[in-house]
């Protein structure tokens, strides 16, 4: 839609400044001089809306003027042709205009809305009375909101055909995908907000063939527009910087020079008078002024409330290792620029305690927002991002990747912030090269870390390589053993705990001579007391999941000590590892909405067990456990987490059972589904073809499982816009 680019000319004639010789409107005043015309959009916050209603006889009629109680409607996005080719409001009132070339778009919109069970549509060419200046200004003011609130947005690409350019040449290489990348629609200024504002955006060829939607084509749209995928997925626009949002329109053109600025008003949620004739430069100056005003108000609001999201209380008995703290302060001073550093060293050396004290000090110094994320694995990273999302009051309907992208943007929007990424020991989760090579489509977390200005990131890790891979070579600090003075101070602090009843000799000897019947309860008390002591030393912390199920998180040093104690004797480590796997197989339930809370609780444990090297020979049982995990992640729509689980299960089953075993085929089909849901259609197609071939050989063409796989492959073709191939397979499915 390019409403001002084509309709202002009907109101004000041609302008001497910024006349486009190709603009069909520029044929008015031969002197080329006209007074600037102002459309004041400040006065009217809500516009009167007019829709096209689909009647039972297939005809269209204009509704009355609507202010509220707007029914569900589809909205059209397109590029304008010549003015005399477009069907106007007056044409519909007079019952003419159906012979115009532009009416083809209206007819398409009507037919598609009927298929989508929508009774109303909005088309800019004929739903606005452009001879009414007030109505026109209201419409321009409300355009972004209208697109945002539409049930469906149909993008009609008149320059894309799904017909082969040469039907007699099977090797012409023509595909609509190549034309899609070059479509004029991606070059126009006003279509930017029409891409971003609606929740549902569907693309169609000039024949009305469905090409895909904003989700299935998000990678292609991202590559064409360079708009971040998170913005295409609906992350709040305030999460993106002003310069970034302006850059989205850099290569887009408008008929009127001023529209280059005006078309960004909805992107920044601002309103200002439209003064055609002022020129592009002045329009942008006014736009920036309005943005700055809004930004100042926003910053004022943010200063009122900073966020302190630290999961541990301040440790008043911490041993202040001044040399390390001084170095950390030098590397991460209070600064308006983005910066990062890392504390690395052996587990239990005190990295987390140093980071904790640094976080509290920084909060005291600058009242900045503090965020703490456990970065040991994807599951813990996601869980803490969910906690931040809840505090930020982000929308509840955001899924995992979408939610984490929104959290990243929200943190970046804070005026001053510190993010602690604790226990980032598995650096493969954060490899920048891995992220770029895989377009962020795997379990890589680097792209989800905030990078905005005025932000500080502090990592803790046991892996020294974090210095060369994730931060600058001079930004790492090795946390080694305490010196003698520090160790003495720690010992003195620990002596404060000697008064506790659980540490007194008489407590140890309690129960001597008592009946053996109390042994079990005493053992239980001992476990509880041990857990209490661990909690007091911050080696154990309780966590509440979103389903209010209580679980705990144990310090890595305690984990290692426990495993060391269990595995001191020969073969005991393997024995206890197998026992843990056996227990997890029993307690990890099949995915069902009733058991989702349990699945979430056991998920991190299942993932850790599946990575233990001593269980490499337990491929069958580990793959069985991973299959349960995959089923739960499927139900949750957590496709990014599901991918490495499916890959690992498939690898193990191939090695243990061979390529043609039913369980291997199931894992292969699971992976195809994951790729499909991620929008990685080429990979989904490749695996879908492979799994269908194996299934046909194993079970035959008429087996229900084979038919389901055929339907899945047809859906993949449909999402790719390969409708002929999809139709062929679907017809075959119906026959079977």
One domain, residues 435 and 347:
yes
Which tokens in the block code for residue 470? 């994730």
One domain, residues 573 and 561:
no
DSSP E strands in 177-223: the ranges are 201-204, 210-213
Integer Cα distance of 114 and 12 in angstroms:
37
Range of the domain at 402: 308-480
**Which among 369, 392, 371, 345 is positioned nearest to 458, based on CA atoms?**
371
Give the number of domains in the chain.
Answer: 4
One domain, residues 627 and 663:
yes
Q: Which of 632-658 are b and which e, b meaning 16 or more Cβ less than 10 Å from the residue's Cβ? A: bbbebebbbbbbbbbbbbbebbbebbe
Integer Cα distance of 578 and 433 in angstroms:
35
CB 190 within 8 A of CB 2: yes
One domain, residues 384 and 465:
yes
Would residue 526 count as lying in a domain? yes
Provide the CA 510 distance to its chain's centre, in angstroms. Answer: 57
pLDDT at 12: 28
- For the chain of 736 residues, list the mean pLDDT of each consecutive stretch of 10: 36 31 32 38 59 90 86 94 85 87 91 94 90 79 90 94 55 67 93 94 94 92 91 82 84 88 90 85 88 67 66 74 83 84 84 89 80 89 90 82 88 87 86 45 74 86 84 85 62 53 42 41 53 56 54 65 65 82 92 84 89 83 93 87 92 91 92 88 90 88 86 85 87 83
CB 609 within 8 A of CB 576: no
One domain, residues 317 and 438:
yes
Would residue 488 count as lying in a domain? no
pLDDT at 341: 92
Residue 138 CA: distances (Å) to CA of 102, 194, 266:
24, 17, 13
One domain, residues 427 and 363:
yes
Residue 315 CA: distances (Å) to CA of 83, 312, 348, 481, 644:
72, 8, 16, 19, 38
One domain, residues 59 and 190:
yes
Q: Model's pTM, two decimal places?
A: 0.42
pLDDT at 517: 41
One domain, residues 404 and 347:
yes
One domain, residues 559 and 577:
no
Would residue 293 count as lying in a domain? no
One domain, residues 208 and 245:
yes
Integer Cα distance of 351 and 461 in angstroms:
8
- Using a 10 angstrom Cβ sphere, with 0-12 exposed, 13-18 middle and 19 or more buried, the burial of residue 22 is exposed
Which tokens in the block code for residue 476? 């790492």
Show which of 498, 530, 565 is a domain's final residue.
565
One domain, residues 539 and 596:
no
pLDDT at 496: 54
- Supply the CATH number for residue 676's domain: 1.25.40.10
Would residue 27 count as lying in a domain? no
One domain, residues 684 and 630:
yes
């Amino acid at each position: 839609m390019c409403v001002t680019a084509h309709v202002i000319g009907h109101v004000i004639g041609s302008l001497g400044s910024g006349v486009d010789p190709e603009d069909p409107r520029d044929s008015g005043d031969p002197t080329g001089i006209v007074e600037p015309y102002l459309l004041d959009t400040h006065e009217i916050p809500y516009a009167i809306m007019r829709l096209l209603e689909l009647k039972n006889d297939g005809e269209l009629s204009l509704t009355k003027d609507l202010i509220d109680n707007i029914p569900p409607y589809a909205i059209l996005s397109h590029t304008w042709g010549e003015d005399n080719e477009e069907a106007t409001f007056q044409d519909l009132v007079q019952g003419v205009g159906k012979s115009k070339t532009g009416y083809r778009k209206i007819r398409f919109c009507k037919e598609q809305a009927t298929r989508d069970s929508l009774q109303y549509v909005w088309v800019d060419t004929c739903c606005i009375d452009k001879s009414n200046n007030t109505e026109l200004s209201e419409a321009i003011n409300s355009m972004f909101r209208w697109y945002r609130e539409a049930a469906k947005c149909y993008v009609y690409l008149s320059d894309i055909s799904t017909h082969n350019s040469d039907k007699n040449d099977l090797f012409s290489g023509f595909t609509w995908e190549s034309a899609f990348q070059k479509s004029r629609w991606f070059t126009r200024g006003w279509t930017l907000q029409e891409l971003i504002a609606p929740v549902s955006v569907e693309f169609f060829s000039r024949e009305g063939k469905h090409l895909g939607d904003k989700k299935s084509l998000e990678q292609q749209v991202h590559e064409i527009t360079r708009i971040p995928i998170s913005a295409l997925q609906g992350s709040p626009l305030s999460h993106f910087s002003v310069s970034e949002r302006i850059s989205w329109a850099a290569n887009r053109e408008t008929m009127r020079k001023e529209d280059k600025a005006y078309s960004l008003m909805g992107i920044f949620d601002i309103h200002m008078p439209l003064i055609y004739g002022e020129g592009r430069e002045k329009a942008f100056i006014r736009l920036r002024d309005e943005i700055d005003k809004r930004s100042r108000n926003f910053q004022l609001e943010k200063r009122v409330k900073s966020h302190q999201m630290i999961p541990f209380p301040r440790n008043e008995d911490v041993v202040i290792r001044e040399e390390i703290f001084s170095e950390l302060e030098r590397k991460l001073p209070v600064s308006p620029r983005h910066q990062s550093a890392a504390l690395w060293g052996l587990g239990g050396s005190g990295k987390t305690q140093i980071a904790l004290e640094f976080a509290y000090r920084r909060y005291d110094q600058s009242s900045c927002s503090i965020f703490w994320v456990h970065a040991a694995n994807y599951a813990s990273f996601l869980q803490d991002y969910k906690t931040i999302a809840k505090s930020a009051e982000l929308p509840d309907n955001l899924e995992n990747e979408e939610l984490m992208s929104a959290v990243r943007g929200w943190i970046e929007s804070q005026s001053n912030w510190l993010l602690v990424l604790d226990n980032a020991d598995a650096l493969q989760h954060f490899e920048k090269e891995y992220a770029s090579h895989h377009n962020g489509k795997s379990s890589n977390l680097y792209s989800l870390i905030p990078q905005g200005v005025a932000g500080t990131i502090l990592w803790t890790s046991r892996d020294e390589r974090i210095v060369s891979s994730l931060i600058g070579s001079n930004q790492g600090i090795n946390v080694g053993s305490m010196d003698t003075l520090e160790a003495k101070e720690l010992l003195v602090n620990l002596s404060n705990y000697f008064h506790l009843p659980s540490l007194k000799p008489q407590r140890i000897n309690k129960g001597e001579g008592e009946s053996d019947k109390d042994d079990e309860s005493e053992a239980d008390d001992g476990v509880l007391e041990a857990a209490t002591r661990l909690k007091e030393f911050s080696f154990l912390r309780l966590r509440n999941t979103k389903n209010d199920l209580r679980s705990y998180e144990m310090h890595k040093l305690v984990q290692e000590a426990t495993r060391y104690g269990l595995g001191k004797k020969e073969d005991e480590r393997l024995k206890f590892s197998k026992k843990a796997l056996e227990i997890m197989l029993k307690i990890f339930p099949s995915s069902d909405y009733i058991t989702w809370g349990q699945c979430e609780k056991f998920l991190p444990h299942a993932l850790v067990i599946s990575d233990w090297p001593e269980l490499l020979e337990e491929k069958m049982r580990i793959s069985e456990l991973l299959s349960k995990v995959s089923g739960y992640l499927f139900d949750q729509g957590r496709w990014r987490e599901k991918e490495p689980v499916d890959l690992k299960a498939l690898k193990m089953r191939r090695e243990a059972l061979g390529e043609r075993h039913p369980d291997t085929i199931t894992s292969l089909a699971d992976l195809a589904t994951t790729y499909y849901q991620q929008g990685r259609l080429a990979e989904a197609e490749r695996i879908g073809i492979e799994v269908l071939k194996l299934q046909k050989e194993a079970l035959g063409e008429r087996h229900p499982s084979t038919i389901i796989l055929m339907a899945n492959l047809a859906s993949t073709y449909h999402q790719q816009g390969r409708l002929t191939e999809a139709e062929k397979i679907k017809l075959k499915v119906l026959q079977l």
